[in-house]
Amino acid sequence: MAAPADKTDPFDPFGVAAAMTGWCCLLKAAQEIRDIDQEMMETMMEADAAAPAGLSPEAGAKLQGVVSLMRRLQLDPEAVRRSEPETMRALESACRACGARSRCERELRAGTAARTYPDFCPNAARLDRLRHA
């Protein structure tokens, strides 16, 4: 005795309707995954934007250096965070690892950092690229 799945549909002898139904299910699943992916990306970007507040005071102070320097260079850190999140993460990462923090703080306090940062800042090339973009 043949199983019901072995029977062909007399109105669709080549199985086109079944194939289309399967294809539609796949498209719907892909759309749902894309929507979830977009939501995850937005959540990650929001978390990135809020990250400095959740850092230790020392790490937060280090990141304030790059934010302060960006503002002195007429760059908007939040706009960069939104438009170029990878660049902002790279700036923050280099700032955290910087060995010239005391000089940076001194230059920022003196108001000379916008002029002297290329001499000591590991982010100089990235900041210059942003300034001339």
The domain ranges of the chain are: 55-133
pLDDT at 1: 43
Does 18 have pLDDT greater than 50?
yes
Token digits for 108?
């920022």
Q: Give 66-97 pLDDT, tens digit per residue.
A: 999 999 999 999 999 999 999 999 999 999 88
Query: What is the CB neighbour count within 10 angstroms for residue 78?
Result: 11
63: CB partners within 8 A, 6+ apart? 52, 55, 92, 95, 96
pLDDT at 15: 79
pLDDT class for 46, splitting at 50, 70, 90? low
- From the list 75, 59, 79, the residue with the least C-alpha distance to 126 is 75
CB 55 within 8 A of CB 96: no
Q: Give 100-119 pLDDT, tens digit per residue.
A: 988 999 999 999 999 999 99
pLDDT at 67: 92
